[in-house]
Structure 1
């Protein structure tokens, strides 16, 4: 798997920080983010949406990102579009 680095939390302190990559081969965005609390996972799991189960499957998780990373997330979406992955 060849990941294309897109961006990292601009306020990183050289520690583990929210990061975004593009995996063109799998047509996926890859995220490293802060672990969510049990309360947030439960709230997300019980937040109803049409056609969506009311629990988080074992192979999924909830990841938090600071809003200051919105430009980086947009850049990741633009990179996927430029690569013809949509």
Structure 2
């Protein structure tokens, strides 16, 4: 798998690095973010989305990304859509 690096949190320090990549082969956006606190994770797990079971499946995770990274996420969306169109 060859990831295309899109960007890293501009306010990152030595011990934090929320990051955005694109996997063109799988047509996926890959995000690295902060683990949620137990309260946020419980709130997400309790959320009832139509057509989905309540909870977070073992193979999925909740992450937090700072809002200032929205431009990078948009860029990743555009990049993966360009792959889909081709």
Q: TM-score by structure 2 length?
A: 0.91
Going by fraction, where is helix more abundant, 1 or 2? 2
Q: Give the corresponding residue for 2:12.
A: 12
Q: Secondary structure at the match of 1:17?
A: coil
- List structure 1 segments (4+ residues) > 4 angstroms apart after TM superposition: none
Matches of 2:70 and 2:49, distance apart in 1: 23
Q: Which runs of 5+ in 1 are unaligned?
A: none
* Count of aligned positions: 86
Q: Which runs of 5+ in 2 are unaligned?
A: none
Matches of 2:24 and 2:15, distance apart in 1: 26
Q: Deviations over 1:9-62 (max 9, x none)?
A: 011123331001001111111111001112111100111110121110111110
Q: Give the corresponding residue for 1:38.
A: 38
RMSD across aligned positions (CA) = 1.6
